[in-house]
């Protein structure tokens, strides 16, 4: 059915009826989740953090071995940040198109294309010997992989207003699992001829010391590809896709007629209809979180890898992988066992605010760790402060589950769910493209120019984190009521 339009001229009794309808809708018995389909989607969700974050433990060492740095380790941040950002630059250019294409082609073909693209680009990355080869392979990863937006649209297909929160809340958990596996794989299998000299004796492994972690990542994606190919069922029926294509080709009337058709039919809507307050507010907060989070994720391995005298901790790739893997594992376990309980107790707004408030504290601890390490070396206090950063980052990651609730409830109609997630992922990808390059470049600039003793980068992101709290406070106390599901 068509959702009623409410404005200032609508009688108060109509508002009362709508509120009663919303209450009845929230009181419905939750629909059981399609466990097999959801499980496959969660399996696919792990692929992106594995492929995007497995390079973090060794990327700084890889860049330092290229001839572009001329032996100056202070410039590593520029090039490492660029490589880390390119994935999200490319993804931001295509993720909305992939999301909208899945409305016509179906979710399954687009998911398979994304998985195949990830495998090809990761293999090329492992075989790259020059800076520009790394750039090209990293761009391909983003261009060919629009799965992050399509998967959230598929979650919308598989759930309804009674169980969607349960389905969406699992996404940060499996992302954390991927964020655990990715760095562990990268740190463990990088330079295998040195770590496992009795096994990897062939000259190939010395020639391509970072190929093995890429192959291991590709192996997981390949298994996910096969499971999707043979076991995943298309969530958009062929008849519905045919109707969408037919309606799209027949939209030649006025804007008012076009809007009317979209409101009464379950098909894609024009992007301009997404620019309403609650969509923009939800997406803006998601972008702020994604930007600051990816800046932290890029700074952490750089901080751990750089020498003590330029503000780092001088840890090897294997240790960096273990630190980041511990962070991912802790986040995953905490989200799985505690997020739902905390969310019910505090509500989405307070959970989101708590996560955002952890960020300025995180950025303020970095220079303290550096100062202590430079004066007394890597002692227990340094490791304790590093552990505190990781615990605060776990609290920060809770904010993702909360903001996903707002985004999922924000579209003006159910047919706009895919486009809304496409818009949010495009915006977040742009932020994630800027974040690593900006944070690592500011790290290098702070050190080279001795801004605030080399710690200006942390002040900059600390101030931005405080500013993001102003935006977060604009969210309503409770998540908006979802638009009613239209009938064909």
Structure token digits, residue 49? 């953090």
What DSSP string describes 324-362? HHHHHHHHHHHIIIIIHHHHHHH-HHHHHHHHHHHHHHH
CA 253 – CA 446 distance, rounded (Å): 57
397, 176 contact by CB (below 8 A):
yes
pLDDT band at 12 (very low <50, low <70, confident <90, very high): very low
Q: Residues 362-370: what's their mean pLDDT? A: 96
Question: Using one digit for the tens of pLDDT, what is the confidence trace for 442-487?
Answer: 998 999 899 999 999 999 999 999 999 999 999 999 888 765 544 4
Whether the CB-CB separation of 148 and 94 falls below 8 Å is answered with: no
Distance of CA 307 to the CA centre of its chain: 29
Q: Give first-to-last CA distance, the chain, whole Å.
A: 8
pTM over 0.75: no
* Bigger pLDDT: 254 vs 281: 281
CATH for the stretch 33-233+275-472: 1.20.1250.20
Both structure tokens of 58: 């060794």
Say which residue the tokens 């405080």 belong to.
466
What is the spatial distance between Cα 292 and Cα 151, in angstroms, rounded to a whole number? Answer: 23
Q: Which tokens in the block code for residue 337?
A: 């066992």
Give the sign of the dihedral formed by CA 294, CA 299, CA 301, CA 302. Answer: positive
Domain ranges of the chain: 33-233+275-472
Q: Which residues contact 150 (CB under 8 A, 6 or more apart)?
A: 98, 99, 102, 107, 110, 111, 114
Please tell me the least confidently modeled range out of 121-125, 147-151, 267-271, 426-430.
267-271
pLDDT for residue 256: 42
Question: Which residue is listed with tokens 């809770």?
Answer: 398
Tokens of residue 8, six digits = 């200032």
Residues 42-61: tens digit of each pLDDT:
898 888 888 888 888 888 88
Task: Give the pLDDT of residue 6.
Answer: 38
**Are 176 and 332 in contact, with CB atoms under 8 Å apart?**
yes
């Amino acid at each position: 059915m068509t959702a009623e339009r409410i404005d200032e001229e609508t009688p108060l009794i109509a508002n009362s009826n709508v509120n009663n309808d919303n209450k009845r809708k929230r009181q419905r018995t939750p629909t059981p989740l399609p466990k097999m389909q959801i499980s496959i989607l969660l399996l696919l969700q792990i692929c992106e953090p594995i492929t995007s974050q497995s390079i973090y433990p060794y990327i700084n060492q890889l860049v330092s071995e290229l001839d572009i740095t001329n032996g100056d380790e202070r410039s590593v941040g520029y090039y490492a940040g660029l490589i880390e950002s390119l994935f999200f630059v490319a993804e931001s250019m295509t993720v909305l198109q992939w999301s909208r294409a899945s409305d016509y082609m179906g979710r399954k073909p687009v998911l398979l294309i994304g998985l195949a693209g990830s495998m090809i680009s990761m293999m090329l990355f492992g075989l790259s010997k020059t800076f520009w080869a790394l750039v090209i392979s990293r761009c391909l990863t983003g261009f060919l992989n629009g799965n992050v937006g399509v998967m959230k649209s598929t979650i919308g297909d598989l759930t309804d207003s009674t169980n969607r929160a349960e389905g969406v809340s699992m996404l940060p958990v499996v992302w954390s699992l991927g964020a655990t596996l990715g760095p562990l794989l990268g740190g463990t299998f990088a330079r295998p001829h040195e770590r496992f000299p009795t096994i990897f004796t062939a000259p190939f492994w010395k020639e391509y010391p970072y190929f093995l972690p890429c192959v291991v990542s590709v192996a997981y994606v390949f298994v996910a590809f096969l499971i999707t190919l043979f076991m995943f069922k298309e969530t958009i029926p062929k008849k519905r896709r045919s109707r969408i294509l037919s309606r799209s080709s027949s939209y030649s009337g006025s804007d008012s007629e076009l809007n009317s058709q979209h409101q009464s039919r379950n098909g894609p809507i024009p992007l301009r209809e997404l620019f309403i307050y609650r969509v923009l507010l939800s997406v803006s907060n998601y972008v702020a979180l994604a930007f600051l989070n990816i800046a932290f994720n890029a700074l952490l391995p750089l901080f751990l890898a750089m020498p003590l005298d330029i503000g780092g901790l001088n840890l090897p790739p294997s240790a960096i992988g273990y630190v980041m893997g511990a962070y991912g594992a802790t986040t995953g376990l905490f989200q799985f066992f505690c997020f739902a309980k905390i969310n019910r107790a505090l509500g989405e707004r307070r959970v989101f605010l708590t996560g955002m408030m952890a960020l300025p504290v995180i950025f303020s601890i970095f220079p303290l760790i550096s100062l202590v390490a430079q004066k007394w070396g890597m002692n227990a206090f340094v490791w304790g402060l590093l552990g505190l950063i990781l615990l605060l980052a776990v609290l920060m990651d809770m904010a993702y589950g909360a903001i996903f609730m707002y985004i999922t409830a924000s579209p003006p109609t159910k047919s706009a769910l895919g486009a809304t997630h496409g818009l949010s992922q495009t915006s977040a990808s742009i932020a994630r493209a800027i974040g690593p390059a900006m944070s690592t470049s500011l790290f290098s600039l702070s050190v080279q120019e001795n801004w605030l003793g080399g710690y200006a980068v942390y002040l900059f992101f600390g101030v931005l984190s405080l500013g993001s709290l102003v935006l977060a406070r604009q969210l309503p106390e409770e998540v908006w009521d979802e638009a009613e599901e239209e009938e064909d």
